[in-house]
Structure 1
C-alpha cells in the first residue's frame, strides 16, 4: 500500500528512520573495530601488521566509494542505492560470521570490511539528498533541526561504538562485531523499501540522465587509492605510489575538463571557492579530532599511565560536550558564529595540551576534553549546514560524499602525524609536539574561516526551523 504524501510545508518525518539508520552504519563500524583488533588477532593468529588492514580497508573503501555512490544517488535517486548499500552491509556481516578461524581468514575479514565500506557509502549522501529534496518541497531554506538530528545521531554512535563493541565481544566474541551488521543491514533494507520514495524530484528525468563517467571514476579511484596507501605506510618502499597518484590525478583533471557529464565537475568546483574551503575545513577538523582521539588516548595510557578503561572515561566528555553544544545551537541556521567559536575552542585545547605532564591531575584532563568537545559539536554541524547551502542541488549527494572523502583523508593524515611523532611510545614530549600541531592547524582553520566572506550570508535573516513538536502544535492550531 502506498504511503500518503507528507503534508505540504512540513518535513516528512517518516524519512528520519531510514536516514538515521543509514547514517550510523559507517561511524558505528569505524568505532567498533577499535576494540576488536586484538581479539581478532589472537583468535586468527594474525599479527598487528595484518589486522590493521581491517581499519584501513574501511577507510579506503569509504573515501573512494562515497563520492561514487553519491553521484549515482544524484542520477538514479536514493532508493535503489540505499537498498543496495543495506544489502552489502548484511553480506559483510555474514562473511565475518561464517569464515573459519585460521591465519588466512584475516584477509577474508579485510574483504568483508571493503564490502562493508562500500555498503555504508550510500547512507550519508542519501540523507543529504533527501534533506535537500524535502527543503525544496517544503520551501524551508534551512532545515536546521533535521541536519542537527543527523549530526547528533552520528556523534552519539561514535560515543557508544567502542563500548558496544566491548559488550558484544564479551558476550559473543569478536564475530559479534561483524554479525551486528546483519540486523543493521536488514533493517536499512526494510525501512528503505517501505519509507523511501522512488523519486524525490532532484533526479534528472529518465531520458535526460547523464552518462556515467567510467574513466573519471577509474582515475579518481586509482589516484585516491595510491595516495591513501602511501600516507598510511610512508616509507622509501612506498614512494613509487606517489607518481601513480600524480599521473592518475592529472589524468582525472584532463578527463573531467573535457566531458559533458564529469564524475567530479571540476569546472564548477573550481569556481566554487567557498565549497573548496568547506572541504578543507572538514579535512582540518578530522585531523584535529583524530589526533586527539587516538594520539591523546595513547599518551593517557603510556605517558599518564592510565588503564584503558580510565583513558576511555577521560575521553567521554569530548563526545558529551559535542552532543550538548550541537543540540543547543543546532536550531539556528547561521554557521559563521559556530565556526568561530569552534576555531577558538580547538586552539585553546591545543594550548592546554602544552601544559600536560605525567602528573597532570584528572580534572585538568577532563576540562581539556570538555573544551575540545565544543568544536567537535559545532564544527561538524556547521560544515554540514554549509555544504547544504553551497552544493548544487542536483549534485548534493556526490558533494556530500566528497565531503566524507576529505574527512577520512584528515583521519589518515592524523594517523601519519601521531605515528611519526610518537614512534614506539607515546611520550609527554611527543604529546607537546602534537599540541603544537593542533595549534598550527587551528590557526589555519581560524584564518580560512575569518577570510571566507560567504559564510556571513548563510543562515542570516532566515527563520529558525521549528522543532517537530512545534510543527505539530501549529498544525493543531
Structure 2
C-alpha cells in the first residue's frame, strides 16, 4: 500500500510504476518520456468491459414488466432484479478494483467476462424469480472488472507514454457507455418481441465470448504477485462488515416500515465496526485513511450517489410507468428512452474535450431538476411527444454527469489506487441505483400508476437538488482540469 498522500485536485504529478506491458514497464517508477502514444489495441477490450454493466441495466428496464407478467411478480418484487445486480456490483467493485491494483487488469477482466457468460446461461433457463435474481447477482460480480480495469490501464498508459492528457480516451469511454445505453432499451424491446424476455439474458453469452477473446489477445500480462497472500491483502473481515452493512441497508430500503428499523440499526452497527476495522487494518478493504484526507474525492463520491438516484429512478421507474401506467409496449418504451441517450452522446462528444468539470456538473444538476419537474405534468393520457420531451431533457444531464464524475476521479484519486478508486465511484453509483430501486418499489407498490410516478418524481427532485448543492459549494472543482 502506498504511503503517498492523495493528490490535490489538479496539481500533483502521477507517480505510479511502469506499464503492465512487459516490454514497456519501468521498474524504477519513472514516467516515460512525453510524446509516447496510447496503445490503441487496448481500447476495444476497455470499451467492451466497461459497457457490460450499462447494457444490462438498460435492457432490464424494459424487461421488468414482461418478467413480472410471466412469473406473476409485482413491481415491488421485480425491483429485486435491479437491486440484486447493483448490490453485487457495489460490493464487488472495491474488491476487484483492489485486486487490479495489486495483480493487474488481465486476470480479473477474464474472470469477470466468464461470470457474465455463466449469468447469461442461468438467466436463459431460470424457472422462477429467485433463480433469476441469483443470475443477476452473478452478472453483477461479473461486470465488476471492466471499468476499474479500463481506468487502471489508462493511468498506466499515461505513465508509460509520459502523456497525462486522457481527455480523448475518457470521452471515448463515456460516449461508448452512452451509445450502449441508446442501444439497450431499443435492443431489449426487439429481443423481447422476437424471443421473449429470456433473450435479454442470452445476449450476455456472445458479449462474454467477445470480452474473453479481446481480453486474452490484447490485454497485457503481468507476473504473479509476490507481495503476500491474496486473503491477507484483501481484508476479508472488512469486506464481510461492508457486505453486512450494504445488505441490511438494502433490505431496509426495500421494506420501508417501522418494523424494519432494526435493519437500519444493524446497518449502522456494521458501519461503525467497518470504520473501526478499516482504520486499524494494515491492508484495508477500503482505505478510509486515504479517503479521509482527500475531501474532493469524497465529495465526488457523494455527488455520484445522489446523481445516480435520479438517473436510475428515471431509467427504471419512469420506464415501468410508461409500460404499465401509460400502456405502451416494451419496444415502444425502449424507443421513448432513445432521445435521452442520443442527446447524451452528442453532449458528451461536444463537451468531452473541454477543460473544466464544475460547469458540466452544475448544468447537469439543473437539467435533472428541470426534467423531474416536467414528470409531474405527465398522466396516463399524456401524448407520446410529451414523454419524448421529458426524455430529451434528461439527455443533457445524462451526457454531462457521467463524464464530469469520471474525469473528477481520474484527477482526484491517488494514481497507485486508481483501480480501487474508480471501482468506488461505481460502488457509490450503484448505491444510488439501489436507493432508486427502493424508491420505485415504495412509490409503485403493486402497480406502476401515475400517482406513484409523481411520488417518485418528488424523490428525484430532492436528490437532484442535493446534487446541485454539493456541486455549487465545492470550490475544489473550479481548479480541476482534465
Given the two structures, how large is their TM-score scaled by the length of structure 2?
Answer: 0.84
Q: 2:339 aligns with which of 317, 333, 337?
A: 317
User: In the alignment, is residue 405 of structure 1 matched against residue 427 of structure 2?
Assistant: yes
Contact 1:92–1:116 (Cα < 8 Å) also in 2: yes
Q: 1:88 aligns with which of 115, 119, 126?
A: 115
Q: 1:111 aligns with which of 108, 111, 134?
A: 134
RMSD: 2.9
User: In the alignment, is residue 9 of structure 1 matched against residue 36 of structure 2?
Assistant: yes
Aligned-partner Cα distance in 2 for 1:113–1:361: 34
- CA deviation map 1:27-75 (0-9, x unaligned): 22222234445555666x5644765543332122111111111111111
Aligned-partner Cα distance in 2 for 1:166–1:359: 22
Contact 2:365–2:397 (Cα < 8 Å) also in 1: yes
Measure how far apart 1:374 and its partner are: 0.5
Measure how far apart 1:275 and its partner are: 0.8
Contact 1:24–1:157 (Cα < 8 Å) also in 2: yes
Q: 2:204 aligns with which of 181, 186, 200?
A: 181
- CA deviation map 1:354-401 (0-9, x unaligned): 444555554444333222211110011100000111111111111111
Q: Say if 1:217 and 1:397 are closer, same or farther in 2 by CA, change over 3 A.
A: same
Q: Give the corresponding residue for 1:151.
A: 174
Contact 2:185–2:331 (Cα < 8 Å) also in 1: no
Q: 1:376 aligns with which of 383, 388, 398?
A: 398
Aligned pairs for 1:446-465 (under 5 A) are: 446-459=468-481
Q: Give the corresponding residue for 1:192.
A: 215
Q: Give the corresponding residue for 1:125.
A: 148
Aligned-partner Cα distance in 1 for 2:121–2:375: 43
Contact 1:274–1:454 (Cα < 8 Å) also in 2: yes
Deviates more, 1:13-22 or 1:25-34: 25-34
Contact 2:114–2:212 (Cα < 8 Å) also in 1: yes
Aligned-partner Cα distance in 2 for 1:36–1:277: 34
User: In the alignment, is residue 247 of structure 1 matched against residue 251 of structure 2?
Assistant: no
Q: 1:22 aligns with which of 46, 49, 56?
A: 49
Q: Give the corresponding residue for 2:226.
A: 206
Aligned-partner Cα distance in 1 for 2:61–2:365: 28
User: In the alignment, is residue 284 of structure 1 matched against residue 306 of structure 2?
Assistant: yes
Aligned-partner Cα distance in 1 for 2:356–2:213: 36
Q: Structure 2: which 5+ runs fail to align?
A: 1-20, 26-31
Q: Say if 1:212 and 1:294 are closer, same or farther in 2 by CA, change over 3 A.
A: closer
Q: Give the corresponding residue for 2:284.
A: 262
Aligned-partner Cα distance in 2 for 1:360–1:302: 14
User: In the alignment, is residue 442 of structure 1 matched against residue 464 of structure 2?
Assistant: yes
Deviates more, 1:310-319 or 1:373-382: 310-319
Q: Give the corresponding residue for 1:421.
A: 443
Aligned-partner Cα distance in 1 for 2:180–2:85: 17
Aligned-partner Cα distance in 1 for 2:192–2:381: 33
Q: Say if 1:14 and 1:4 are closer, same or farther in 2 by CA, change over 3 A.
A: farther
Q: Give the corresponding residue for 1:229.
A: 251
Aligned-partner Cα distance in 1 for 2:438–2:96: 27
Q: Structure 1: which 5+ runs fail to align?
A: 463-477
Q: Say if 1:430 and 1:190 are closer, same or farther in 2 by CA, change over 3 A.
A: closer
Contact 2:97–2:419 (Cα < 8 Å) also in 1: yes
Q: Say if 1:390 and 1:91 are closer, same or farther in 2 by CA, change over 3 A.
A: same
Q: Give the corresponding residue for 2:5.
A: none
Q: Give the corresponding residue for 1:69.
A: 96
Aligned-partner Cα distance in 2 for 1:127–1:63: 17
Equivalent pairs counted in the alignment come to 451
Q: Say if 1:95 and 1:328 are closer, same or farther in 2 by CA, change over 3 A.
A: same
